[in-house]
A and B are shown apart, each in its own frame.
Chain A
Amino acid sequence: MLENLAKIKEQFSKELNAVNSKDELEKIRVAFLGKKGLVTEELKNLRNLSADEKKTAGMQVNKLKQEIEQAIIDHQKILEEREYQKEIENAEVYDYSIPSEKPVGTLHPITIVQKQIEDIFKTMGFIIEDGLEIQTEYNNFEAVNIPKNHPARDMQDTYYLENGQILKTHTSAAQNTIMRKYGAPNSGETLKVLFPGRCFRNENIDASHENTFFQLEGMMIGEDISISNLIYFMKVLLTEVFERDVKVRLRPGFFPFVEPGFELDINCAICGGSGCPTCKQSGWLELLPCGMIHPNVLRMGGIDPDKYTGFAFGLGLTRLAMMKYNIKDIRLFNSGNLKQLKQFVR
């Protein structure tokens, strides 16, 4: 019997070596391990042996069976690997450099810049508000301390509508509405609001003038809001907006809705403050107007100026977008020119 086993083993090795496909392998498996397979037959023959012989021979047969099983598994792996190899070798080589055709959608550059700034202000606890574009003269002028006969109210700059309303000339037109909506803050709290918006100026358009443009305005009102706080906030916020350590400088500036009013300059990014043509050698760039909210404006907004103070600041969003993207011609924004607008992917 042992001889038989040796023969079977030899025969198996010989046949296995000739196997080149999974089908052939299966045939061999059946031939040796199947119900009528050579090894199975040997197992069946065991019953004809004595108890002692059975033990030794049994072990031998089982060993052979395990060896054959393992050999088949191993051979199967080799075959599989060969197939993978073949598939890979025959694979079509794709040209990764072929451009994909999916067009790119874009947001408007104003939306992109506005969102970035809104996000910065949100992290500092500002509410984001909105205002109407068609405003009353009261909201746009009187409520922000620009009385009748003020030069800013001369007809030529402002779009007047048939019903006496106007297209808002600045985002400050929303101040009164916002103050009335939220009211004075609770003791110890501050009202922090950011309100971007579209503004209008009745003038002819050229590369640097638009009749329709965006501004962004913020204000902070509380019991103890001071000039010191204003400078601090502007510095922190502008450092975030410009993603660099911004130096700020305040100069007196006159705006009817603030007192004191300031022009805020930032150190020139191009020369770092040493003076260059961009900053007219001064090292500073005029960036935004700001100031302590005028007591009359607070009062008209229903907030007691003897108890509360606040600051406000405005930023030309369109101008900021032009700075950010190095846009030379302001007419791009309202052009609907897809060749240009499709570039603003982020």
Chain B
Amino acid sequence: MLISMNWISEFTDLSGVDKKELINRFTLSTAEVEDIYEMGKNIRDVVVGKIVEIKDHPNSKKLHLVKVDIGSEVVDCVCGAPNIFVGAVVPFAKFGGQVGDLEIKETKIAGEISRGMCCSEKELGISEDHSGLMILDDSYPLGTDIKEFMQLDDIIFEVDNKSLTNRPDLWGHYGIAREISVLTKRPLKPLDVVDTSVFKELSPIDVKVEDTDKCYRYSCIAVKNIKEKKSPINMKIRLTYCGMRPINLLADLTNYLMMELGQPMHAFDYGNVSKIRVKTFSEPIEFLTLDGNMRKVDTDTLMICDDKEPNGIAGIMGGELSEITDHTDSVLLESANFDATTIRKSSVRLGLRTDASARYEKTLDPELTVPAIERFLKLLLDIDPGAEVFSSLTDCYVKRYDTISIEFDKAYVDKYTGIDISSDQIEETLTALGFELTRNQDSFKVTVPSWRATKDVTMKADIIEEITRIYGYDNFEVKSTKSLLTPVRHSIERNDEYRMKLLLAERYAMNEVHSYIWYESKLNKEMGIQTEKNIRIINSVTAENDTIRSTIIPSLLGFVYKNVDTNPEMGMFEIGRVANGLKEDGLCDERKRLGLVLASKKMSEKEVYFKVKEILEQLIFVVKNIKPSFSPNPELTKYNYVHPVNSASINLEGCEIGYFSVLNPRVRNNIDKKLNVVFAEIDIELMEQIDVKPLSYKEVSKYPGVTVDLSLLADKSMRYENIAAAINEYQCEYLQSYHLVDIFEDEKLLPGKKSVTIRFDFVSMDRTLEGQEISTMVDELLAILKGKGIELR
């Protein structure tokens, strides 16, 4: 919102005040000022001039040679305006002066000398009117600088509208002036108004508020015999400077009042509207608004009607048919207060946001309606003394806000602020802001002024803000807290997550990615990935991505798909959320999952598979000190991208925490036929439920151990875990450990079999083992293995 410093000065004396500093103070105490414009700086040496002679230009049909009397001299100038006439009094930019970006110099226009310029309103920045020269009245002596009677010099500052959303009182200059009066400690002048009680003998207007939920107050009055059509020049300047387009006196006055008090007003042509019904329609209607658009109005939108026709959309925009025109000489003047939510929602539904609706949305003070009418009348009668009020002030006050009283004491303020603000200062600040205050030493009772009581100030904490913002946050002494030293409880889960991320990035050179919480259906379709039904978003702007994912894997495969052309060697992981359907209470079963994918063309599929398996074991071992086990899980084939054979569940202490799989060739071929892809997913929360295995340190034997490598022959289909299980059956205190050295397969040499070389470590804690003992133990072990179909090669 644009605010004029001249306008503010009408309500509080700003003489001697540093305006830049004031605006900075305003930002710190009230609302953010985004920009400052110094108006009128680029208008210089423009004086009152009278056209005394007009001749045709010899070289142009449009241009004229004009002589302008500016008192001290008569100046030649070339002028192209269509509305010139001898005797016209106009603003004239002298030689050496400036109008906007134009410096006035002596020039030749189409061959003729010109030593100045006659100006239009637009050229002076007063309005958008560029139809012809601005015609001044002849009451000013020729040669008078126009700035002596036109308020062209002004400081306009733009307040960020967002920072005013909770301050309905600041949507007009008078409210801003109140703030500034408090900041400058200068008095706020009362509004100059017409007392409407003098019209109480006149008959009222027929007003009925039928929808008492949506309308808080409807005030109106009727005025006739309005002869003046044009607004005074300084009113036009202010409106233009504040971003409004001057139209005609009545329209300008309603806008001026809205800019001054924040109260939207509407003037109906009394010839069309003489009764008021405030209501909604039971059926949707079509309505022609004054911007010329036919609009569909639904049954929740409040309308202003007479007993027959709708004449305006309440609080948003009037109708074209009842709009005031240049012929209007009598009006029904509305000043009303509507329910903020109703106006906001209607405005959204209509797709029509106006200066009026923007203000009503903020929950305006209903006490404003009558002062706005009284102020309007004052301004109108000053401009057009012949205008005549011909109804009483008609005021339907449907709903009143409760008066809000708040009690507090200085101790409360001290605790909240952490500093010492004196009781006198508290009293001074709140009184200046319009709070009625009674004080008993350090205890206060305040009544919130009506303009702050619609939603903004309701409780003690709100009073703190009033006191502190005026005190100034930059004046605060800043202090650390006084609190006891206590240990901080840190979540292990978070540390584990970070460890896993680091491990994947630093040891396995994988890259962490982030993907969306929903399935990207188009991408999945291209890859041939079928996803499960899951909970959906009902209002996504990207409607095709409306299903919340139940697994991270399709997102990661999507990234493989996107990156494969750049570099097929890739490893990616993400810790992200999924929704595993709904829980019994109807809420989403949100899970945190780790997904990872490794893809390669250099490595064989088998190599990638074992790399992923290694990564998983490392990952889990690092955080849990436990090696996971794997087991086949036929249920995994519900995902069409899972490999039916080369996939397995990941188990930790008997709990299934995830799975890993080779990418199903049916999906793989859509990504890249030659790409070997293996992926895994772990449920972090399930994993976190498993306790970390405590580390148990074992004494190392002082005696040398004996290492025996045995190559064992087993059926090709036998998994290593079966061999290991067989070895584990051998109970021997000296067999300290064993591990796999090599697996050898050769269809010619060992048909149907594989050779598995395992290294066994035998050691005793109290002596060196004898060769004979070792042989005996190996024989015992081999005997057990033989029983399981495993022979020494």
Contact = CB atoms under 8 A, between A and B. Distances in A.
A336 B28 contact: no
Given A106-B505, A134-B588, A232 B480 contact: yes
Given A105-B505, A111-B501, A292-B416, A254 B473 contact: no
B617 to A, nearest CB: 18
Interface in A104-159: 104-108, 110-111, 115, 118, 122, 125-130, 132-134, 136, 149, 151, 154-156, 158-159
B481 A229 contact: yes
Interface stretch (B38-46, B278-286, B489-497): B489-497
B717 interface: no
A231 B473 contact: yes
Nearest to B417: A227
A314 interface: no
A337 B476 CA distance: 47
Given A107-B501, A259-B461, A163 B488 contact: no
B582 A163 contact: yes
B475 to A, nearest CB: 11
Interface in B458-481: 459-462, 464-465, 468-469, 473-474, 476-481
Interface string B135-172: 00000000000000000000000000001011100000
B415 A126 contact: no
Contacts of A224: 415, 418, 481-482
A309 interface: yes
A190 B516 contact: no
Contact of B486 (A106, A189, A261, A337): A189
A91 interface: no
A236 B571 CA distance: 39
Interface in A149-173: 149, 151, 154-156, 158-165, 167
A13 to B, nearest CB: 48
A313 interface: no
B490 A122 contact: yes
A183 interface: no
Interface stretch (A2-10, A37-45, A51-59, A198-206): A198-206
Contacts of B491: 127-130
B461 A127 contact: no
B255 to A, nearest CB: 25
B484 A189 contact: yes
A154 B347 CA distance: 12
Nearest to A226: B418
A41 B30 CA distance: 113
B513 interface: yes
B663 interface: no
Contacts of B517: 133, 167, 198, 200, 212
Contacts of B501: 107, 111
Given A163-B588, A228-B419, A254-B165, A104 B509 contact: yes
Contact of B468 (A102, A186, A260): A260
A222 B483 contact: yes
Contacts of A118: 494
B509 A163 contact: no
Given A136-B587, A155-B539, A226-B415, A106 B480 contact: no
Nearest to B563: A338
Contact of A132 (B166, B482, B590): B590
Contacts of B465: 252, 259-261
A165 B588 contact: yes
Given A160-B537, A259-B461, A229 B418 contact: yes
Interface in B350-385: 361
A75 interface: no
B27 A106 contact: no
Interface string A245-275: 0000111111000011111000000000000
Interface in B500-533: 501-502, 504-517
B483 A334 contact: no
Nearest to B339: A149
B752 to A, nearest CB: 40
Given A133-B577, A226-B417, A338-B563, A107 B502 contact: yes
B477 A228 contact: yes
B266 interface: no
Contacts of B566: 338-339
A228 B490 contact: no
B539 A202 contact: yes
Contacts of A161: 535-538, 548, 588
B341 interface: yes
A211 B542 CA distance: 10
B782 to A, nearest CB: 43
A111 B477 CA distance: 35
Nearest to B464: A260
Contacts of A155: 539
A334 to B, nearest CB: 5
B156 to A, nearest CB: 16
B476 A227 contact: yes
Interface string A201-219: 0111000000110000000
Given A134-B579, A251-B28, A254-B165, A128 B494 contact: yes
A319 interface: no
A136 B29 CA distance: 35
Contact of B494 (A107, A130, A236, A336): A130
Given A222-B483, A333-B514, A336-B563, A228 B417 contact: yes
Interface in B408-442: 415-419
Given A134-B590, A162-B538, A228-B417, A235 B490 contact: no
Contacts of B418: 224, 226-229
A30 interface: no
A49 B63 CA distance: 148
A103 B568 CA distance: 13
B361 A151 contact: yes
Contacts of B473: 227, 231, 249-251, 262
Contact of A108 (B163, B493, B513, B542): B513
Given A132-B590, A227-B417, A336 B559 contact: yes
Contacts of A107: 501-502, 505, 512
A9 B366 CA distance: 127
Contact of B416 (A226, A249, A261): A226
A87 to B, nearest CB: 34
Given A151-B344, A249-B474, A292-B416, A225 B481 contact: yes
A281 B494 CA distance: 41
Given A128-B491, A253-B163, A167 B535 contact: no
Contacts of B482: 224
A190 B483 contact: yes
A129 B490 CA distance: 8
A134 B549 CA distance: 12
A115 B501 CA distance: 12
A342 interface: yes
Contacts of B577: 132-134, 198
A233 to B, nearest CB: 8
Contacts of B548: 134, 161
A320 interface: no
A156 B540 CA distance: 9
Cβ-closest 3 pairs across A and B: A226-B418, A228-B418, A336-B559
Interface of B: 27-32, 34-35, 163, 165-167, 341, 344, 348, 361, 415-419, 459-462, 464-465, 468-469, 473-474, 476-484, 486, 488-491, 493-494, 498, 501-502, 504-517, 535-542, 548, 555, 558-559, 562-563, 566-567, 569-572, 577, 579, 582, 586-588, 590
15 contacts: A111-B498, A190-B483, A211-B516, A211-B541, A226-B415, A227-B468, A227-B473, A228-B417, A228-B419, A235-B478, A249-B473, A251-B28, A253-B163, A292-B464, A338-B572
Given A107-B505, A202-B540, A341-B512, 15 more contacts: A108-B512, A111-B512, A127-B488, A151-B344, A158-B539, A161-B538, A189-B484, A189-B486, A224-B415, A228-B418, A228-B478, A229-B480, A252-B29, A337-B562, A337-B563
